[in-house]
A and B are shown apart, each in its own frame.
Chain A
Amino acid sequence: MNLSREYVFVLWPALAQGAGQTLLIFLLTLILSLPLGLPVALGSISRLWPPRMFCRVYVWLFRGTPLMLQLFFFYYGLGIMAGQYDLPFLRLDRFPAVIVTFALNYAAYFAEIYRAGIQSIDRGQYEAAKTLGFTRTQTMFAIIIPQTLRRIIPPVCNETITLVKDTALATVIGVAELLKAARDASNRDTNTTPYFLAAAGYLAITFVLTLVYQKLEKRFGRHEREAI
Protein backbone atom coordinates (compact mmCIF):
# COMPACT_ATOMS: atom_id res chain seq x y z
CA MET A 1 0.00 0.00 0.00
CA ASN A 2 1.17 3.49 -0.75
CA LEU A 3 -0.68 6.40 0.80
CA SER A 4 1.88 9.04 -0.15
CA ARG A 5 0.33 12.30 -1.15
CA GLU A 6 1.80 12.08 -4.64
CA TYR A 7 0.33 8.67 -5.36
CA VAL A 8 -3.14 9.53 -4.04
CA PHE A 9 -2.94 12.61 -6.19
CA VAL A 10 -2.26 10.48 -9.25
CA LEU A 11 -5.17 8.17 -8.47
CA TRP A 12 -7.62 10.87 -7.55
CA PRO A 13 -9.07 11.91 -10.95
CA ALA A 14 -9.96 8.38 -12.06
CA LEU A 15 -11.35 7.37 -8.67
CA ALA A 16 -13.35 10.56 -8.30
CA GLN A 17 -14.83 10.03 -11.72
CA GLY A 18 -15.68 6.44 -10.81
CA ALA A 19 -17.29 7.58 -7.57
CA GLY A 20 -19.31 10.07 -9.58
CA GLN A 21 -20.61 7.26 -11.79
CA THR A 22 -21.40 5.17 -8.72
CA LEU A 23 -23.39 8.02 -7.18
CA LEU A 24 -25.17 8.63 -10.46
CA ILE A 25 -26.21 4.97 -10.75
CA PHE A 26 -27.33 5.07 -7.12
CA LEU A 27 -29.41 8.23 -7.46
CA LEU A 28 -30.99 7.41 -10.81
CA THR A 29 -31.93 3.96 -9.58
CA LEU A 30 -33.60 5.41 -6.49
CA ILE A 31 -35.38 8.16 -8.38
CA LEU A 32 -36.89 5.59 -10.70
CA SER A 33 -37.45 2.59 -8.45
CA LEU A 34 -38.87 4.26 -5.33
CA PRO A 35 -41.97 5.55 -7.19
CA LEU A 36 -42.19 2.55 -9.52
CA GLY A 37 -42.50 0.23 -6.55
CA LEU A 38 -45.82 1.79 -5.54
CA PRO A 39 -47.95 0.83 -8.54
CA VAL A 40 -46.37 -2.61 -8.42
CA ALA A 41 -47.29 -2.93 -4.73
CA LEU A 42 -50.85 -1.73 -5.34
CA GLY A 43 -51.14 -4.03 -8.34
CA SER A 44 -50.01 -7.04 -6.35
CA ILE A 45 -52.85 -6.54 -3.83
CA SER A 46 -55.42 -5.55 -6.43
CA ARG A 47 -58.80 -7.24 -6.37
CA LEU A 48 -58.50 -7.72 -10.14
CA TRP A 49 -56.48 -10.74 -11.09
CA PRO A 50 -54.68 -9.47 -14.25
CA PRO A 51 -52.73 -6.69 -12.52
CA ARG A 52 -52.27 -8.86 -9.45
CA MET A 53 -50.85 -11.71 -11.52
CA PHE A 54 -48.64 -9.43 -13.57
CA CYS A 55 -47.18 -7.63 -10.56
CA ARG A 56 -46.57 -10.79 -8.58
CA VAL A 57 -44.82 -12.49 -11.47
CA TYR A 58 -42.75 -9.36 -12.01
CA VAL A 59 -41.67 -9.30 -8.37
CA TRP A 60 -40.96 -13.02 -8.40
CA LEU A 61 -38.76 -12.79 -11.51
CA PHE A 62 -36.71 -9.84 -10.35
CA ARG A 63 -36.24 -11.01 -6.79
CA GLY A 64 -35.76 -14.63 -7.73
CA THR A 65 -32.87 -14.27 -10.20
CA PRO A 66 -29.38 -12.82 -9.72
CA LEU A 67 -29.02 -9.14 -10.38
CA MET A 68 -25.89 -9.93 -12.41
CA LEU A 69 -27.89 -12.22 -14.67
CA GLN A 70 -30.44 -9.47 -15.19
CA LEU A 71 -27.65 -7.09 -16.03
CA PHE A 72 -26.28 -9.51 -18.63
CA PHE A 73 -29.75 -9.96 -20.05
CA PHE A 74 -30.51 -6.27 -20.45
CA TYR A 75 -27.08 -5.52 -21.90
CA TYR A 76 -25.93 -8.55 -23.88
CA GLY A 77 -29.23 -10.41 -24.21
CA LEU A 78 -31.22 -7.53 -25.58
CA GLY A 79 -28.29 -6.64 -27.80
CA ILE A 80 -28.37 -10.09 -29.35
CA MET A 81 -32.14 -9.99 -29.76
CA ALA A 82 -31.86 -6.59 -31.36
CA GLY A 83 -29.65 -8.09 -34.04
CA GLN A 84 -31.63 -11.31 -34.48
CA TYR A 85 -35.05 -9.71 -34.83
CA ASP A 86 -33.91 -6.45 -36.37
CA LEU A 87 -35.21 -4.37 -33.48
CA PRO A 88 -32.42 -1.83 -33.01
CA PHE A 89 -34.24 0.03 -30.22
CA LEU A 90 -33.64 -2.97 -27.96
CA ARG A 91 -29.92 -2.34 -27.97
CA LEU A 92 -29.00 -0.41 -24.84
CA ASP A 93 -25.71 1.27 -24.10
CA ARG A 94 -23.85 0.16 -20.99
CA PHE A 95 -25.02 2.91 -18.73
CA PRO A 96 -28.72 2.89 -19.70
CA ALA A 97 -28.68 -0.91 -19.42
CA VAL A 98 -27.45 -0.60 -15.84
CA ILE A 99 -30.08 1.99 -14.94
CA VAL A 100 -32.95 0.03 -16.50
CA THR A 101 -31.87 -3.19 -14.80
CA PHE A 102 -31.30 -1.65 -11.40
CA ALA A 103 -34.52 0.39 -11.50
CA LEU A 104 -36.62 -2.65 -12.40
CA ASN A 105 -34.84 -4.86 -9.88
CA TYR A 106 -35.08 -2.41 -6.99
CA ALA A 107 -38.69 -1.54 -7.81
CA ALA A 108 -39.50 -5.20 -7.16
CA TYR A 109 -37.83 -5.06 -3.74
CA PHE A 110 -39.46 -1.75 -2.83
CA ALA A 111 -42.84 -3.06 -4.01
CA GLU A 112 -42.58 -5.92 -1.52
CA ILE A 113 -41.69 -3.53 1.27
CA TYR A 114 -44.61 -1.24 0.38
CA ARG A 115 -46.99 -4.17 0.11
CA ALA A 116 -46.01 -5.47 3.52
CA GLY A 117 -46.41 -1.96 4.93
CA ILE A 118 -49.86 -1.53 3.43
CA GLN A 119 -50.97 -4.94 4.63
CA SER A 120 -49.77 -4.22 8.15
CA ILE A 121 -52.31 -1.42 8.56
CA ASP A 122 -55.28 -2.39 10.68
CA ARG A 123 -58.57 -3.19 8.95
CA GLY A 124 -60.27 -0.71 11.27
CA GLN A 125 -58.61 2.14 9.37
CA TYR A 126 -60.32 1.07 6.15
CA GLU A 127 -63.62 0.67 7.98
CA ALA A 128 -63.43 4.08 9.61
CA ALA A 129 -62.60 5.68 6.26
CA LYS A 130 -65.46 3.86 4.59
CA THR A 131 -68.01 5.04 7.13
CA LEU A 132 -66.78 8.61 6.58
CA GLY A 133 -67.47 8.33 2.85
CA PHE A 134 -63.98 7.67 1.47
CA THR A 135 -63.66 5.67 -1.75
CA ARG A 136 -61.11 2.86 -1.82
CA THR A 137 -58.65 5.01 -3.73
CA GLN A 138 -59.08 7.96 -1.39
CA THR A 139 -58.62 5.63 1.57
CA MET A 140 -55.41 4.24 0.11
CA PHE A 141 -53.79 7.59 -0.64
CA ALA A 142 -55.10 9.73 2.23
CA ILE A 143 -55.24 7.21 5.07
CA ILE A 144 -53.31 4.01 4.47
CA ILE A 145 -50.16 4.94 2.56
CA PRO A 146 -49.23 7.89 4.81
CA GLN A 147 -49.39 5.57 7.79
CA THR A 148 -47.07 3.05 6.19
CA LEU A 149 -44.25 5.61 5.91
CA ARG A 150 -42.89 5.13 9.39
CA ARG A 151 -42.97 1.36 9.00
CA ILE A 152 -41.34 1.20 5.59
CA ILE A 153 -38.52 3.64 6.23
CA PRO A 154 -36.21 1.16 8.01
CA PRO A 155 -36.46 -1.61 5.38
CA VAL A 156 -36.24 0.92 2.54
CA CYS A 157 -33.10 2.32 4.12
CA ASN A 158 -31.56 -1.12 4.38
CA GLU A 159 -32.31 -1.73 0.76
CA THR A 160 -30.62 1.49 -0.35
CA ILE A 161 -27.48 0.57 1.58
CA THR A 162 -27.45 -2.68 -0.35
CA LEU A 163 -27.90 -0.68 -3.54
CA VAL A 164 -24.72 1.32 -2.85
CA LYS A 165 -22.77 -1.92 -2.91
CA ASP A 166 -24.74 -3.43 -5.79
CA THR A 167 -23.69 -0.53 -8.01
CA ALA A 168 -20.31 -2.24 -8.14
CA LEU A 169 -21.93 -4.96 -10.26
CA ALA A 170 -22.07 -2.47 -13.12
CA THR A 171 -18.38 -3.16 -13.52
CA VAL A 172 -19.16 -6.56 -15.09
CA ILE A 173 -20.53 -4.92 -18.22
CA GLY A 174 -17.73 -2.40 -18.24
CA VAL A 175 -19.27 0.72 -16.72
CA ALA A 176 -16.53 2.90 -15.29
CA GLU A 177 -17.84 3.18 -11.76
CA LEU A 178 -15.75 3.30 -8.61
CA LEU A 179 -14.80 -0.37 -8.40
CA LYS A 180 -13.74 -0.52 -12.03
CA ALA A 181 -11.67 2.62 -11.63
CA ALA A 182 -9.97 1.09 -8.60
CA ARG A 183 -9.34 -2.23 -10.28
CA ASP A 184 -7.91 -0.63 -13.42
CA ALA A 185 -5.56 1.48 -11.33
CA SER A 186 -4.57 -1.44 -9.13
CA ASN A 187 -3.79 -3.67 -12.12
CA ARG A 188 -1.84 -0.93 -13.84
CA ASP A 189 0.30 -0.08 -10.81
CA THR A 190 0.31 -3.50 -9.12
CA ASN A 191 -0.71 -1.73 -5.94
CA THR A 192 -3.54 -2.33 -3.42
CA THR A 193 -4.04 1.31 -2.49
CA PRO A 194 -6.78 1.96 -5.05
CA TYR A 195 -8.91 -0.75 -3.46
CA PHE A 196 -8.54 0.80 -0.04
CA LEU A 197 -9.48 4.18 -1.40
CA ALA A 198 -12.52 2.68 -3.17
CA ALA A 199 -13.58 0.99 0.07
CA ALA A 200 -13.27 4.32 1.84
CA GLY A 201 -15.49 5.83 -0.87
CA TYR A 202 -18.25 3.23 -0.38
CA LEU A 203 -18.01 3.61 3.38
CA ALA A 204 -18.32 7.38 3.11
CA ILE A 205 -21.49 7.05 1.04
CA THR A 206 -23.12 4.53 3.37
CA PHE A 207 -22.11 6.64 6.37
CA VAL A 208 -23.85 9.70 4.97
CA LEU A 209 -26.91 7.56 4.19
CA THR A 210 -27.05 6.32 7.76
CA LEU A 211 -27.18 9.92 8.97
CA VAL A 212 -29.95 10.75 6.53
CA TYR A 213 -31.98 7.78 7.76
CA GLN A 214 -31.67 8.70 11.37
CA LYS A 215 -33.15 12.09 10.46
CA LEU A 216 -35.97 10.48 8.49
CA GLU A 217 -36.87 8.08 11.25
CA LYS A 218 -37.06 10.88 13.78
CA ARG A 219 -39.20 12.97 11.48
CA PHE A 220 -41.74 10.25 10.76
CA GLY A 221 -41.65 8.63 14.16
CA ARG A 222 -43.61 11.28 15.97
CA HIS A 223 -47.26 10.35 15.54
CA GLU A 224 -47.14 6.61 15.82
CA ARG A 225 -45.25 5.55 18.84
CA GLU A 226 -47.86 2.88 19.40
CA ALA A 227 -50.51 1.13 17.38
CA ILE A 228 -53.67 3.15 16.98
Chain B
Amino acid sequence: MTDHIVELDRVCKRYGEVEALRDATLRVRRGEHVAIIGSSGSGKSTLLRCINHLESIDGGSVRNNGVILAETVGGRVRYRREADIRRLIMQTAMVFQHFNLFGHLTCLENVTIAPIRIKRENPAEARDRAMDLLRLVGLSGKANAYPAELSGGQKQRVAIARALAIRPSILLFDEPTSALDPEITGEVLKVIRQLAAQGYSMVLVTHEMGFAREVADRVVFMDNGGIVEEGIPANIFGHPESERLRLFLQAVL
Protein backbone atom coordinates (compact mmCIF):
# COMPACT_ATOMS: atom_id res chain seq x y z
CA MET B 1 0.00 0.00 0.00
CA THR B 2 1.19 3.43 -0.83
CA ASP B 3 0.36 6.73 0.75
CA HIS B 4 0.40 8.40 -2.65
CA ILE B 5 -3.06 9.23 -3.91
CA VAL B 6 -1.88 10.17 -7.35
CA GLU B 7 1.24 9.01 -9.12
CA LEU B 8 2.07 10.15 -12.62
CA ASP B 9 5.28 8.59 -13.77
CA ARG B 10 7.17 9.86 -16.83
CA VAL B 11 3.92 10.73 -18.57
CA CYS B 12 4.04 11.78 -22.22
CA LYS B 13 1.21 13.33 -24.17
CA ARG B 14 1.17 14.53 -27.76
CA TYR B 15 -1.41 16.45 -29.75
CA GLY B 16 -0.25 15.80 -33.26
CA GLU B 17 3.06 17.63 -33.48
CA VAL B 18 2.71 19.35 -30.11
CA GLU B 19 4.35 17.58 -27.19
CA ALA B 20 2.10 18.71 -24.36
CA LEU B 21 3.82 16.56 -21.72
CA ARG B 22 7.38 15.22 -21.77
CA ASP B 23 8.21 12.68 -19.10
CA ALA B 24 6.25 14.51 -16.45
CA THR B 25 6.37 12.90 -13.02
CA LEU B 26 4.12 14.02 -10.18
CA ARG B 27 3.28 12.29 -6.90
CA VAL B 28 0.73 13.55 -4.45
CA ARG B 29 0.56 12.24 -0.90
CA ARG B 30 -2.59 11.93 1.13
CA GLY B 31 -3.49 15.29 2.65
CA GLU B 32 -1.03 17.18 0.49
CA HIS B 33 -1.86 20.43 -1.33
CA VAL B 34 0.06 20.78 -4.56
CA ALA B 35 -0.09 23.92 -6.67
CA ILE B 36 0.93 23.79 -10.32
CA ILE B 37 2.14 27.02 -11.89
CA GLY B 38 3.60 27.85 -15.25
CA SER B 39 2.97 29.95 -18.31
CA SER B 40 0.11 29.41 -20.70
CA GLY B 41 0.53 26.30 -22.82
CA SER B 42 3.12 24.75 -20.50
CA GLY B 43 0.94 21.64 -19.99
CA LYS B 44 -0.63 22.26 -16.58
CA SER B 45 -4.18 21.39 -17.60
CA THR B 46 -3.02 18.43 -19.63
CA LEU B 47 -1.13 17.04 -16.64
CA LEU B 48 -4.17 17.41 -14.40
CA ARG B 49 -6.46 15.85 -17.00
CA CYS B 50 -4.24 12.80 -17.36
CA ILE B 51 -4.90 12.00 -13.69
CA ASN B 52 -8.59 11.33 -14.28
CA HIS B 53 -8.41 10.12 -17.87
CA LEU B 54 -9.94 13.21 -19.44
CA GLU B 55 -6.86 12.87 -21.62
CA SER B 56 -5.28 9.55 -22.47
CA ILE B 57 -1.52 9.30 -22.14
CA ASP B 58 0.96 8.32 -24.85
CA GLY B 59 3.64 7.07 -22.50
CA GLY B 60 4.44 6.58 -18.82
CA SER B 61 2.01 5.43 -16.16
CA VAL B 62 -0.85 6.74 -14.05
CA ARG B 63 -1.76 5.36 -10.63
CA ASN B 64 -4.63 6.23 -8.43
CA ASN B 65 -4.42 5.20 -4.76
CA GLY B 66 -1.73 2.76 -5.80
CA VAL B 67 -3.90 1.13 -8.46
CA ILE B 68 -2.59 1.27 -12.00
CA LEU B 69 -4.93 3.16 -14.32
CA ALA B 70 -2.58 3.09 -17.28
CA GLU B 71 0.94 1.89 -17.81
CA THR B 72 3.38 1.53 -20.62
CA VAL B 73 4.49 -1.99 -21.35
CA GLY B 74 6.95 -2.62 -24.14
CA GLY B 75 6.41 0.85 -25.56
CA ARG B 76 2.62 0.52 -25.66
CA VAL B 77 0.20 2.22 -23.29
CA ARG B 78 -2.31 -0.14 -21.70
CA TYR B 79 -5.38 1.20 -19.97
CA ARG B 80 -7.48 -0.70 -17.49
CA ARG B 81 -11.04 -1.77 -18.48
CA GLU B 82 -13.51 1.05 -18.83
CA ALA B 83 -15.63 0.05 -15.84
CA ASP B 84 -12.53 -0.06 -13.62
CA ILE B 85 -11.38 3.31 -14.87
CA ARG B 86 -14.77 4.76 -14.09
CA ARG B 87 -14.58 3.50 -10.52
CA LEU B 88 -11.02 4.76 -10.11
CA ILE B 89 -11.57 8.25 -11.43
CA MET B 90 -14.54 8.73 -9.12
CA GLN B 91 -11.97 8.90 -6.34
CA THR B 92 -10.72 12.08 -7.93
CA ALA B 93 -13.08 14.97 -8.45
CA MET B 94 -12.47 17.88 -10.75
CA VAL B 95 -13.45 21.52 -10.57
CA PHE B 96 -13.30 23.14 -13.98
CA GLN B 97 -12.40 26.63 -15.05
CA HIS B 98 -15.81 27.02 -16.69
CA PHE B 99 -17.78 25.28 -13.93
CA ASN B 100 -19.58 22.87 -16.28
CA LEU B 101 -22.66 22.75 -14.10
CA PHE B 102 -25.59 20.83 -15.56
CA GLY B 103 -27.89 23.59 -16.79
CA HIS B 104 -31.13 21.62 -16.67
CA LEU B 105 -30.73 20.77 -12.99
CA THR B 106 -31.09 22.92 -9.90
CA CYS B 107 -28.07 23.45 -7.66
CA LEU B 108 -29.31 20.76 -5.30
CA GLU B 109 -29.86 18.32 -8.17
CA ASN B 110 -26.41 19.10 -9.56
CA VAL B 111 -24.96 18.00 -6.25
CA THR B 112 -27.18 14.94 -5.76
CA ILE B 113 -27.25 13.50 -9.27
CA ALA B 114 -24.00 11.53 -9.05
CA PRO B 115 -24.57 10.17 -5.52
CA ILE B 116 -28.12 9.09 -6.38
CA ARG B 117 -27.78 7.92 -9.97
CA ILE B 118 -24.23 6.65 -10.03
CA LYS B 119 -23.39 5.72 -6.45
CA ARG B 120 -26.95 4.58 -5.71
CA GLU B 121 -27.09 6.34 -2.38
CA ASN B 122 -30.37 6.73 -0.59
CA PRO B 123 -32.00 9.84 -2.17
CA ALA B 124 -33.15 11.39 1.10
CA GLU B 125 -29.72 10.98 2.67
CA ALA B 126 -28.01 12.23 -0.47
CA ARG B 127 -30.17 15.35 -0.40
CA ASP B 128 -29.38 15.95 3.28
CA ARG B 129 -25.71 15.65 2.59
CA ALA B 130 -25.99 17.87 -0.47
CA MET B 131 -27.62 20.54 1.66
CA ASP B 132 -24.72 20.24 4.11
CA LEU B 133 -22.29 20.68 1.24
CA LEU B 134 -24.19 23.67 -0.14
CA ARG B 135 -24.10 25.15 3.35
CA LEU B 136 -20.35 24.51 3.46
CA VAL B 137 -19.89 26.58 0.29
CA GLY B 138 -22.34 29.18 1.57
CA LEU B 139 -25.15 28.52 -0.89
CA SER B 140 -27.87 26.63 0.96
CA GLY B 141 -30.20 29.49 0.01
CA LYS B 142 -29.72 28.72 -3.69
CA ALA B 143 -30.55 25.01 -3.54
CA ASN B 144 -33.52 25.36 -5.87
CA ALA B 145 -32.02 27.92 -8.23
CA TYR B 146 -30.80 26.93 -11.69
CA PRO B 147 -27.17 27.59 -12.66
CA ALA B 148 -28.26 30.29 -15.12
CA GLU B 149 -29.61 32.24 -12.15
CA LEU B 150 -26.24 32.33 -10.35
CA SER B 151 -23.15 34.52 -10.55
CA GLY B 152 -19.88 32.99 -11.67
CA GLY B 153 -18.55 32.74 -8.14
CA GLN B 154 -21.72 31.05 -6.98
CA LYS B 155 -21.60 28.61 -9.87
CA GLN B 156 -18.06 27.65 -9.02
CA ARG B 157 -18.98 27.08 -5.39
CA VAL B 158 -21.84 24.79 -6.45
CA ALA B 159 -19.36 22.97 -8.70
CA ILE B 160 -17.12 22.45 -5.67
CA ALA B 161 -20.06 21.05 -3.69
CA ARG B 162 -20.87 18.75 -6.60
CA ALA B 163 -17.27 17.52 -6.67
CA LEU B 164 -17.28 16.86 -2.92
CA ALA B 165 -20.56 14.92 -3.16
CA ILE B 166 -18.91 11.85 -4.67
CA ARG B 167 -16.59 11.63 -1.62
CA PRO B 168 -13.37 11.86 -3.62
CA SER B 169 -10.02 11.22 -2.00
CA ILE B 170 -8.51 14.13 -3.90
CA LEU B 171 -9.76 17.34 -5.52
CA LEU B 172 -8.37 18.59 -8.81
CA PHE B 173 -8.82 22.28 -9.55
CA ASP B 174 -8.04 23.63 -13.01
CA GLU B 175 -7.80 27.40 -12.67
CA PRO B 176 -11.01 27.59 -10.65
CA THR B 177 -11.03 31.38 -10.56
CA SER B 178 -9.73 32.28 -14.02
CA ALA B 179 -13.20 32.73 -15.51
CA LEU B 180 -14.32 34.99 -12.68
CA ASP B 181 -14.28 38.74 -12.25
CA PRO B 182 -11.39 39.72 -9.95
CA GLU B 183 -13.68 40.99 -7.21
CA ILE B 184 -15.45 37.65 -6.80
CA THR B 185 -12.48 35.28 -6.91
CA GLY B 186 -12.22 35.76 -3.16
CA GLU B 187 -15.39 33.86 -2.31
CA VAL B 188 -14.17 30.81 -4.23
CA LEU B 189 -10.64 30.98 -2.84
CA LYS B 190 -12.12 31.15 0.64
CA VAL B 191 -13.94 27.84 0.11
CA ILE B 192 -10.80 26.18 -1.26
CA ARG B 193 -8.78 27.51 1.66
CA GLN B 194 -11.36 26.03 4.01
CA LEU B 195 -11.18 22.61 2.31
CA ALA B 196 -7.40 22.71 2.51
CA ALA B 197 -7.62 23.44 6.21
CA GLN B 198 -9.97 20.48 6.63
CA GLY B 199 -7.25 18.25 5.23
CA TYR B 200 -8.57 17.48 1.76
CA SER B 201 -5.86 16.43 -0.65
CA MET B 202 -5.75 18.67 -3.68
CA VAL B 203 -3.94 19.60 -6.84
CA LEU B 204 -4.54 23.15 -7.90
CA VAL B 205 -3.57 24.66 -11.24
CA THR B 206 -3.58 28.38 -10.73
CA HIS B 207 -2.41 31.76 -11.92
CA GLU B 208 -2.98 33.21 -8.44
CA MET B 209 0.56 33.14 -7.11
CA GLY B 210 -0.40 34.61 -3.76
CA PHE B 211 -2.94 31.90 -3.21
CA ALA B 212 -0.57 29.13 -4.35
CA ARG B 213 1.96 30.39 -1.87
CA GLU B 214 -0.61 30.47 0.89
CA VAL B 215 -2.36 27.07 0.60
CA ALA B 216 0.22 24.86 -1.11
CA ASP B 217 2.56 22.51 0.72
CA ARG B 218 4.43 22.10 -2.51
CA VAL B 219 4.58 24.15 -5.69
CA VAL B 220 5.33 22.58 -9.06
CA PHE B 221 6.59 24.77 -11.87
CA MET B 222 5.96 23.52 -15.39
CA ASP B 223 7.45 24.75 -18.60
CA ASN B 224 7.21 23.36 -22.11
CA GLY B 225 5.51 20.11 -21.06
CA GLY B 226 7.92 19.23 -18.28
CA ILE B 227 8.25 19.80 -14.57
CA VAL B 228 11.19 22.11 -14.22
CA GLU B 229 11.30 22.77 -10.51
CA GLU B 230 9.30 21.90 -7.42
CA GLY B 231 9.55 22.61 -3.75
CA ILE B 232 7.98 24.35 -0.80
CA PRO B 233 6.44 27.73 -1.63
CA ALA B 234 9.10 29.68 0.24
CA ASN B 235 11.82 28.22 -1.96
CA ILE B 236 9.96 28.33 -5.24
CA PHE B 237 8.91 31.92 -4.81
CA GLY B 238 11.85 33.08 -2.68
CA HIS B 239 14.81 31.20 -4.10
CA PRO B 240 14.04 29.99 -7.61
CA GLU B 241 16.91 27.86 -8.90
CA SER B 242 16.22 27.65 -12.62
CA GLU B 243 16.45 30.54 -15.00
CA ARG B 244 13.07 29.70 -16.51
CA LEU B 245 11.29 29.91 -13.16
CA ARG B 246 13.04 33.21 -12.41
CA LEU B 247 11.85 34.63 -15.72
CA PHE B 248 8.34 33.32 -15.16
CA LEU B 249 8.12 34.85 -11.69
CA GLN B 250 9.45 38.14 -12.95
CA ALA B 251 6.72 38.19 -15.57
CA VAL B 252 3.81 37.35 -13.25
CA LEU B 253 4.71 38.98 -9.94
Contacts and interface: CB of A to CB of B under 8 A. Distances in A.
B118 A224 contact: no
A131 B101 contact: no
A132 B148 contact: no
B247 to A, nearest CB: 32
B193 interface: no
B237 interface: no
Contacts of B173: none
B147 interface: yes
B166 A133 contact: yes
Interface string B138-158: 000000001110000000000
Interface string A211-226: 0000000000011111
Max chain A Cβ within 10 angstroms of own Cβ: one of B54, B92, B102, B147? B102
Given A147-B102, A147-B103, A228-B99, A131 B148 contact: no
Interface in A191-224: 222-224
Contacts of B98: 122, 124
A221 B92 CA distance: 34
A138 B113 CA distance: 11
B104 A133 contact: no
Contacts of B101: 128, 228
B166 A132 contact: yes
A127 B92 CA distance: 13
A218 to B, nearest CB: 15
B100 A122 contact: yes
A143 interface: yes
A132 B114 contact: yes
A83 interface: no
Interface string B76-90: 000000000011011
Contacts of B147: 223, 228
Contacts of A76: none
Interface in B193-220: none
A138 B83 CA distance: 13
Sorting the interface of chain B by its residue count into under 10, 10 to 19, 20 to 34 or 35 or more gives 20 to 34
A222 B102 contact: no
Contacts of A129: 102
Contacts of A122: 98, 100
A147 B113 CA distance: 15
B246 interface: no
Given A133-B89, A138-B118, A128 B100 contact: yes
B104 A132 contact: no
Contacts of B146: 222-224
Nearest to A145: B104
Contact of A131 (B52, B103, B113, B119): B52
A39 interface: no
Contacts of A135: 86
A131 B91 CA distance: 9
B166 A225 contact: no
A124 B94 CA distance: 11
Given A224-B103, A228-B103, A124 B96 contact: yes
6 contacts: A128-B96, A130-B52, A131-B52, A131-B89, A147-B103, A224-B146
Q: 5 shortest A-B CB distances, which residue pairs?
A: A124-B100, A128-B100, A132-B114, A228-B103, A223-B146
